[in-house]
Amino acid sequence: MELELTDVISQFSNEPVVDIQPLGNGHIHKTWKVDFASHSIVLQQFNSNIFKNPYEVCKNIEIISDHLKSKNDYPYDILQLIRSKQNEFIVPFENNYFRAINFAENCYAADIMDSVNTAFEVSKAFGKFAKSLSDLNPNSLTYSIENFHNGTLRHATLWTAIKENIADRVKYCENLINKIETNKEITKKIDSLKEIQKIPLRIAHFDTKVNNILLDNLTHSPKMIIDLDTTMPGTLLSDFGDMVRTATPTKDENEMDLDMVNFDLKFFEGITQGYLSELSSTLNQHEKENLLEGGKYLILMQCERFLADYLNGDIYYPINYENQNLVRANNQMKLLESIVDQETAANQILKKYW
Ligand code: GN1
Ligand code: MG
């Protein structure tokens, strides 16, 4: 692979490559850090099964980056696509699409939050991101994935997978399927609020899991929001919801010991305070009142997505061992149950920051 990658990299730079290493824990694209003598870049091979139009995705990112740059109070570094020698953001190569991004030095990505303060800062940063994009017309961006967070559709997709049962695995997850059915009102409630536009369409990042923000090695403060591929028209319940999913649990989505997976109210308070410190004057009352509900919606949907993929034979989310997507689905259900157990206290926290 390295030889081919060097050919791709030569489309972006004439400098000799010193080193190439895989980077990050993303599920979708293949990502490498490429070192030259003077600096480093990030190289990504697009997953064009999932993102059908890499050119449009990059166009969106250019619009977003330019808009953030035009703000003089945006305090974080901005993800920057690097143009090829042909002046393009995408380099097609042997039926694949590649792109390059600026590399943020002295940073790391965390799969789980190490402190309430970091959760606060991360959520504030995603809040600032949304606020800074709130005066950009959502219609100026294209949908990089249609119906990406359409819970009703994800639920239907799961049921198609259950009925087709192509990997003959339904027998291993009947209990989980029952639990999903017990919770399906969560999806209905949010989707009807979206439908009647009480939850309005804005510009959402759509993948605010905590490892999509780079943290400073020394201060642990947010440095740069990454993975802008799904930043498109949507609701901010998606963004707050994915933070509930990834910044409040005691273990990440891959933990198989479910006793270890719990919703932590202290971290919930951190992200609520952080997000609303930026967005309380932007969000309407329906959005504010449904922030926790948005978390439950996202977690249930992620549970359904992992389970559907398990039933379909692991064609979407890469796995390291056989049942990993079932483990992930059960993990998400456990997190949802832990939230439901602590819902009264969580709603009291929310009210404190409305
Ligand atoms: C995928 O690329 P990555 O790992 O940030 C997925 C998200 C899921 C997430 C679950 C395009 O995100 O929607 O929430 O995995 N992205 C896509 O970890 O499907
Ligand atoms: Mg992503």
8 A C-beta contact, residue 99 and residue 44: yes
Q: What is the pLDDT of residues 16-51, one digit of tens each?
A: 999 999 999 899 999 999 999 999 999 999 999 999
Taking residues 105-119, what's their average pLDDT? 96
**Domain, as residue range, for 337:** 116-353
8 A C-beta contact, residue 134 and residue 203: yes
Neighbours of 323 (CB within 10 A): 16
**In this structure, which ligand is nearest to the CA of 210?**
1
* CATH number of the domain bearing residue 9: 3.30.200.20
Least Cα distance to 162 among 173, 153, 149, 151 occurs for 173
Centre of ligand 1 to C-alpha 98, Å, is 19
Residue nearest to atom 15 of ligand 1 (CA): 27
Q: Is the CB of 227 under 6 A from ligand 1?
A: yes
**Confidence band (pLDDT; 50, 70, 90) for 4?**
confident
Which of 70, 103, 136 delimits the end of a domain?
103
152 and 64 in a common domain? no
Q: Is the CB of 50 under 6 A from ligand 1?
A: yes
Centre of ligand 1 to C-alpha 208, Å, is 9
Torsion-angle region of 87 (φ positive above 0: left; ψ -120 to 50: alpha; else: beta): left
**Confidence band (pLDDT; 50, 70, 90) for 3?**
low
8 A C-beta contact, residue 126 and residue 238: no
Pocket test for ligand 1, best of 23, 25, 28, 206 (most atoms within 8 A of CB): 28
Residue nearest to atom 19 of ligand 1 (CA): 28
Which of 103, 125, 152 delimits the end of a domain?
103
Interior CA angle at 246 toward 50 and 131, to 5°? Answer: 80
Q: Which of ligand 1's atoms lies nearest the C-alpha of 211? A: 5
Q: Is the CB of 124 under 6 A from ligand 1?
A: no
Residue nearest to atom 18 of ligand 1 (CA): 27
Write down the pLDDT at residue 160. Answer: 98
d(CA 239, CA 125): 11
Q: How many domains does the chain have?
A: 2
- Report the run of H or E that residue 43 belongs to, with start and end: strand 40-45
Q: Is the CB of 302 under 6 A from ligand 1?
A: yes
**pLDDT surpasses 80 at 254:** yes
d(CA 74, CA 250): 30
Q: What is the pLDDT of residues 183-239, one digit of tens each?
A: 999 999 999 999 999 999 999 999 999 999 999 999 999 999 999 999 999 999 999
Residue 20 buriedness (CB in 10 A; 0-12 / 13-18 / 19+): middle
Q: What is the pLDDT of residues 255-293, one digit of tens each?
A: 999 999 999 999 999 999 999 999 999 999 999 999 999
**pLDDT surpasses 70 at 1:** no
Q: What is the pLDDT of residues 134-172, one digit of tens each?
A: 999 999 999 999 999 999 999 999 999 999 999 999 999
* CATH number of the domain bearing residue 225: 3.90.1200.10
135 and 223 in a common domain? yes
Phi, psi torsion values for 130, nearest 5 degrees: -65, -40
Q: What is the pLDDT of residues 43-102, one digit of tens each?
A: 999 999 999 999 999 999 999 999 999 999 999 999 999 999 999 999 999 889 999 999
Residue nearest to atom 13 of ligand 1 (CA): 207
260 and 124 in a common domain? yes
Write down the pLDDT at residue 25. Answer: 87
Residue type, 311: L
Which of 48, 76, 103 delimits the end of a domain?
103
Write down the pLDDT at residue 252. Answer: 98
Residue 248 buriedness (CB in 10 A; 0-12 / 13-18 / 19+): buried
How many Å is the Cα radius of gyration of the chain?
A: 20
246 and 146 in a common domain? yes
Residue nearest to atom 16 of ligand 1 (CA): 28
Centre of ligand 1 to C-alpha 27, Å, is 6
**DSSP helix/strand/coil, 21:** strand
Write down the pLDDT at residue 324. Answer: 98
Q: Which of ligand 1's atoms lies nearest the C-alpha of 298? A: 14
**pLDDT surpasses 60 at 2:** no
158 and 137 in a common domain? yes
CA distances from 163 to 148, 157, 183, 235, 327 (A): 22, 10, 19, 31, 21
**DSSP helix/strand/coil, 183:** coil
182 and 57 in a common domain? no
CA distances from 295 to 290, 300, 330 (A): 9, 9, 16
Domain assignment present for residue 108? The answer is: no
Helices (H), the chain: 2-9, 54-69, 116-132, 151-164, 174-182, 184-195, 236-247, 265-279, 285-289, 291-311, 324-341, 343-353
Domain assignment present for residue 111? The answer is: no
Q: Which of ligand 1's atoms lies nearest the C-alpha of 245? A: 14
120 and 22 in a common domain? no
124 and 77 in a common domain? no
Centre of ligand 1 to C-alpha 343, Å, is 26
Is the overall model pTM greater than 0.85, yes or no? yes
Residue 216 buriedness (CB in 10 A; 0-12 / 13-18 / 19+): middle
127 and 21 in a common domain? no
98 and 125 in a common domain? no
| First vs last C-alpha separation in the chain | 52
